[in-house]
């Protein structure tokens, strides 16, 4: 016989809760590839400290404003939403970045200037000594530039990348033609020069680093010349194995002779027709046209117009995505990319390279270029012994709570312990997944947030159980008291958790550093408290009320409430008779 409409079915709620746990732990063990353990912060496991030294094109000390702007951008790159536990501080002209763990390479990439330009490819040729690529990975530029989801052109396996002679490919209409004349005037909408080009032979008299200024001047004169003869000589003598002396200080209004990031090809590029400042958002993911990974760019309105006009006028030609003077990808334009379509940057990216590139492009380019001057491993500031001490204190507190619940609530106290254990199971899985997905690291401030949240979760149980006792005092049985007590307790639990979540949200928005991590864990635990109370605690109490054994007053912990209610009703009856 079907149950009456509106009847509470506890097994359905428990099945939903079990499904959530199964999905979370499937993600924990089947994704990520690492150990199923949360990431720890600097104060618990130590980290890597990288010192980046700012450099300017003229050798003068950088302004404080540009250093502060660079610090903010790097902090966004490294700290994302503020829960990775990384630190970025200024020390003179140095930027000191400390990240949890031993991934120093990742910290170094944070100082990448990330100046991205779109340039036409005038010519391409293999590097004199191509660097071997593990697994035969094709050099960047082998894929087409197409809208997201568009098919790739069919090419013969192993076919070489097209070599476009300088005379055969002219810049698009409106673009300056490389010539021996001074720096050409860019087309409307082209980005302004990142820095004025110093005249040949000029070095600022007050330069703090005249050697660096002279190196950049000579590199521009050689690699960004408008003389075709100098261009061909620079391309022929270009050593891709050596780092570029420009390193993000190239002038976008001038041609450029450079290499790709994997040192397998040389390129002669025209002046930039679009800048990375027109990028509204950047994301990454698997390639839609084959194996590997790609970076997807969403351009601003002006950038979409310029990119659409360029692709319409240059179908079949190559366009290079140049990041910090090096070619990331030089795909062939196979079709017009209309406004609103994503632009895909395809190359021989690994998953980490694609993610890092998307991150640095998402937050914009730095106003300065940096070079890594020092890298060191730092020990934990507090250490695992402090973590063990904190966990021991938390465990002792939980034991006291458990003993009190067993003494005061008996069977309901057992349900309290079980609910807290289920809450811990969910919290652990969420910590592991957040560490993989958003870089969340658990430090002592986060541990404190979880301990506070345990008290909030226990308060939810107490509210429910006390409402249950009130109903029993009024003369209802355990089974009939559960639904009425839940309706009354539910509103109080939602109101209390809403206040806690709002407090955590305000603290997260206003705070910085480790306090931000405390607020994040407090708010997350408050949300998970609702999941446990609604999908586990309430159904378990309902099942206990239906059990002939657990519903006995001596075991349920409701015997005192029943006796108090009976005594009160007897007293009222006696008073009524006496009157």
In a domain, 52, yes or no: no
Residues 470 and 544 in one domain: yes
- Same domain assignment for residues 281 and 392: no
Together in a domain, 315 and 448: no
Domain boundary among 305, 335, 354: 354
Number of domains in the chain: 2
Same-domain check for residues 535 and 400 = yes
Question: Are the C-beta atoms of 254 and 271 separated by less than 8 Å?
Answer: yes
Same domain, 330 and 386: no
Residue 405, C-beta contacts closer than 8 angstroms, at least 6 positions apart? 412, 413, 414, 416, 417
Q: Helix, strand, or coil here: 122?
A: strand
Distance from C-alpha of 143 to C-alpha of 354, rounded to nearest angstrom: 15
First and final C-alpha spacing in the chain: 50
Q: Which of 336, 354, 372 is the last residue of a domain?
A: 354
Residue 101 lies in a domain: no
Is 259 in the same domain as 312?
yes
Closest CA to 259 of 346, 140, 113, 117: 140
Residue 109 is assigned to a structural domain of this protein: no
Count of CB atoms within 10 A of residue 287's CB?
16
User: Could you list the pLDDT tens digit for every one of the 579 residues in the chain?
Assistant: 344 445 778 999 999 999 999 999 999 998 876 678 888 877 777 777 888 888 776 667 888 888 888 888 777 777 665 556 677 888 877 888 887 766 555 666 666 666 889 999 999 988 865 444 444 444 443 444 444 433 333 233 333 333 333 333 334 333 333 333 333 334 433 333 333 333 333 333 334 467 777 878 888 888 999 998 998 998 888 888 887 778 777 889 999 999 988 888 999 999 999 988 888 888 888 887 778 888 888 898 999 999 999 999 999 899 998 888 888 888 888 888 888 888 888 777 788 778 877 877 777 667 777 776 666 776 766 666 766 777 787 788 788 888 888 888 888 888 888 988 899 899 999 989 988 887 788 887 888 888 888 888 888 888 998 899 888 888 888 889 999 999 999 999 999 999 999 999 999 888 766 788 888 889 998 999 899 999 999 999 999 888 888 888 777 777 777 777 677 767 666 666 665
**pLDDT at residue number 557:** 72
Residue 358: name the closest of 438, 283, 436 by CA: 283
The pTM is what? 0.60
> Is position 91 within any domain?
no
Q: Which residues, listed in sequence order, are joined to residue 54 by a DSSP beta bridge?
A: 370
- Confidence at residue 179, expressed as pLDDT on a 0 to 100 scale: 36
* Same structural domain, 123 and 202: yes
Q: Are 458 and 579 in contact (CB under 8 A)?
A: no
Domain harbouring 415, CATH code: 1.20.1640.10
Domain, as residue range, for 444:
11-38+382-571
Q: Does one domain contain both 186 and 262?
A: yes
* Any domain includes 431: yes
> Does residue 373 fall inside a structural domain?
no
Statement to judge: residues 389 and 281 lie in one domain: no
Coil, strand, or helix at residue 54? strand
Q: Is 108 inside any structural domain? A: no
Regarding whether 348 and 251 lie in a shared domain, the answer is yes
Count other Cβ atoms within 10 Å, centred on residue 149. 10
Is residue 110 a part of any domain in this protein? no
pLDDT (0 to 100) of residue 207: 42
Q: Check whether residue 184 and residue 137 sit in a common domain.
A: yes
**388/510 same-domain check:** yes
Sheet holding 279-286, edge to edge: 279-286, 293-299, 343-349
For the four alpha carbons of 429, 431, 432 and 434, in that order, the dihedral sign comes to: positive
């Amino acid at each position: 016989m079907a149950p009456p409409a509106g009847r509470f079915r506890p097994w359905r709620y428990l099945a939903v809760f079990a499904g959530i746990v199964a999905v979370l732990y499937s993600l924990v063990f089947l994704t990520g590839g690492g150990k199923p353990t949360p990431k720890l912060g600097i104060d618990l496991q130590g980290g890597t400290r990288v010192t980046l030294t700012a450099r300017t094109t003229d050798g003068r000390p950088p302004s404080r404003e540009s250093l502060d702007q660079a610090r903010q951008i790097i902090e966004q790159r490294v700290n994302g939403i503020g829960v990775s536990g990384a630190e970025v501080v200024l020390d003179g002209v140095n930027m000191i970045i400390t990240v949890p763990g031993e991934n120093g390479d990742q910290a170094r990439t944070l100082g990448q200037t990330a100046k991205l330009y779109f340039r036409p490819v005038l010519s391409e040729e293999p590097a004199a000594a191509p660097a071997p690529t593990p697994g035969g990975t094709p050099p960047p530029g082998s894929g087409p530039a197409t809208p997201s989801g568009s098919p790739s052109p069919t090419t013969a396996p192993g076919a070489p990348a097209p070599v476009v002679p300088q005379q055969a490919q002219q810049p698009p209409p409106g673009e300056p033609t490389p010539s021996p004349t001074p720096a050409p005037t860019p087309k409307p909408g082209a980005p302004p020069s990142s820095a004025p080009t110093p005249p040949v032979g000029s070095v600022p008299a007050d330069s703090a680093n005249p050697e660096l200024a002279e190196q950049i001047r000579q590199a521009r004169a050689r690699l960004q010349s408008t003389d075709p003869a100098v261009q061909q000589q620079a391309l022929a003598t270009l050593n891709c194995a050596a780092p570029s002396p420009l390193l993000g200080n190239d002038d976008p209004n001038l041609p450029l002779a450079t290499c790709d990031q994997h040192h397998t090809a040389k390129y002669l590029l025209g002046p930039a027709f679009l800048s990375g400042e027109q990028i509204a958002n950047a994301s990454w993911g698997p390639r839609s046209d084959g194996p590997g990974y790609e970076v997807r760019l969403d351009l601003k309105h002006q950038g979409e117009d310029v990119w659409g006009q360029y692709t319409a006028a240059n179908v079949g030609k190559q366009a290079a995505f140049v990041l910090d003077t090096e070619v990331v990808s030089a795909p062939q334009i196979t079709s017009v990319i209309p406004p609103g379509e994503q632009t895909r940057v395809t190359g021989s990216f690994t998953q980490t390279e694609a993610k890092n590139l998307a991150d640095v492009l998402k937050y914009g380019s730095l106003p300065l270029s940096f070079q890594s001057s020092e890298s060191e491993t730092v020990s934990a500031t507090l250490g695992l012994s402090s973590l063990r001490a904190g966990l021991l204190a938390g465990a002792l507190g939980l034991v006291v709570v458990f003993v009190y619940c067993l003494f005061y609530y008996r069977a309901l106290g057992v349900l309290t312990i079980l609910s807290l254990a289920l809450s811990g199971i969910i919290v652990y899985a969420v910590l592991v997944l957040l560490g993989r997905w958003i870089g969340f690291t658990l430090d002592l401030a986060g541990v404190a947030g979880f301990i506070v949240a345990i008290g909030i979760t226990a308060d939810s149980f107490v509210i429910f159980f006390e409402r249950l006792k009130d109903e029993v005092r009024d003369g209802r049985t355990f089974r009939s008291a559960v639904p009425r007590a839940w309706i009354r307790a539910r509103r109080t639990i939602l109101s209390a958790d809403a206040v806690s979540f709002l407090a955590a949200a305000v603290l997260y928005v206003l705070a910085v550093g480790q306090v931000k991590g405390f607020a994040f864990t407090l708010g997350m635990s408050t949300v998970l408290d609702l999941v446990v109370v609604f999908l586990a605690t309430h159904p378990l109490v309902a099942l206990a009320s239906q059990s002939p054994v657990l519903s006995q007053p001596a075991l349920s912990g409701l015997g005192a409430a029943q006796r108090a209610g009976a005594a009160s009703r007897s007293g009222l009856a006696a008073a009524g008779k006496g009157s």
